[in-house]
Amino acid sequence: MQRNEGKTALERMGVGPKLWLCLGFTLAILFVKNIFFGIAVIVASVFVVVHEDKLGLFKVILMTSLVLFVSMYGIYGTMAPGLDKASEPVWFYIGSLPYWRSGIDYATRYYFNVVPLMCALFPLITSIDMGDLGALLRKMGLSQRAAFVFIDSFQLIAQLSRDMQQIKDAQMARGLRVDGNVFQRLKAFVPIMVPVVANSLIKIQDQAVALETRGFNAPGDKTVYRELSYTKTDSFVRMASIFLGLGAICYRVLVVAAVVKPLSGAIS
């Protein structure tokens, strides 16, 4: 039986506790709605990413966060959706553009829903072993076909990404330009994408026949060549995640019912 022997603590953590952590963080970020909590989650996630040596991949998340920051604060701050601009004074100016407090609050409400979630889930999801995930999905009762479809998509993403890079390099060696204005870059899309798609459609014929010869449609239960084992740390992480999620929901219910005051830094 295969076991997953990860190098770091996060990689050694079982796939079940990681999914519970994802759920716990999602509920906490969506229901606590607190700017200090969001910043703490972002900082902790960056620390974990650096420790796990995934900073190269994390750059995509950082770029997306930056684009969202500029878009949301830049647009909402000066447009202030729903605000009667005559009734509220301008908070500050950037150049000649006025920024209103309620516009900044509006941007904060959405920015701190999305970005802490992206940062928190990134190290968890990228450290999940697909074999373990497939075994867990089967253990949870998902059909063999559905589990195969879900897991195969991650594997095909990796395979097609490599194919795309090879085709891009080959086309550039043949003189394809991938820089220049928008129209030139748009023209470059087709000679890269079409071979990727066409090659992958040809390969699925081989894959379908290979699956058939290995009894993909054969009746009866399928066995799994992967053992899932959990440590005491995994059990602790699972309980902590459940506590975090339920705690966040209870906090939100109590705040809405005006039983408790929102914590300092609450987002309206």
Q: Which of residues 158-187 bind another protein (CB under 8 A)?
A: 159-161, 163-164, 168, 178, 182, 185-186
Residue pair 158/183 in contact by the 8 Å Cβ criterion: no
Query: Cβ atoms within 10 A of the Cβ of 39, count?
Result: 14
Query: Which uninterrupted H or E stretch holds 97?
Result: strand 97-99
**Contact pick of 39, 46, 62, 114 for another protein (by CB under 8 A):** 114
Q: Count of residues binding another protein (CB under 8 A)?
A: 71
Give the CA-trace dihedral at 238, 243, 246, 251, to 10 degrees: -150
User: Least distance in Å: CB of 203 to another protein?
Assistant: 9
**Contact pick of 15, 21, 42, 61 for another protein (by CB under 8 A):** 61
User: Least distance in Å: CB of 85 to another protein?
Assistant: 12
Closer Cβ to another protein, 106 or 251, answer by number? 106
Written as six digits, the tokens of 207 are: 């894959």
**Where in 197-256 is the site for another protein (CB under 8 A)?**
197-198, 200-201, 204-209, 211-212, 216-217
Residue pair 244/24 in contact by the 8 Å Cβ criterion: yes
Q: Which residue has the tokens 């219910």?
A: 253
Closer Cβ to another protein, 60 or 239, answer by number? 60
Written as six digits, the tokens of 231 are: 């440590």
Q: CA 71, 75, 78, 81 torsion: positive or negative?
A: negative
Window of 10-18, 78-86, 229-237, 248-256 that interacts with another protein by CB under 8 A = 78-86
Q: Which residue has the tokens 């941007």?
A: 107
Window of 6-14, 88-96, 189-197, 250-258 that interacts with another protein by CB under 8 A = 189-197
- Three-state SS for 187-239 is HHHHHHHHHHHHHHHHHHHHHHHHHHHCCCCCCCCCCCCECCCCCHHHHHHHH
**Where in 82-101 is the site for another protein (CB under 8 A)?**
82
**Contact pick of 109, 131, 247, 255 for another protein (by CB under 8 A):** 109
Distance, CA of 167 to CA of 58 (rounded, Å)? 25
Window of 4-12, 34-42, 47-55, 151-159 that interacts with another protein by CB under 8 A = 151-159
Closer Cβ to another protein, 145 or 261, answer by number? 145
Window of 194-202, 220-228, 246-254, 255-263 that interacts with another protein by CB under 8 A = 194-202
Written as six digits, the tokens of 167 are: 């085709």
**Where in 22-51 is the site for another protein (CB under 8 A)?**
26
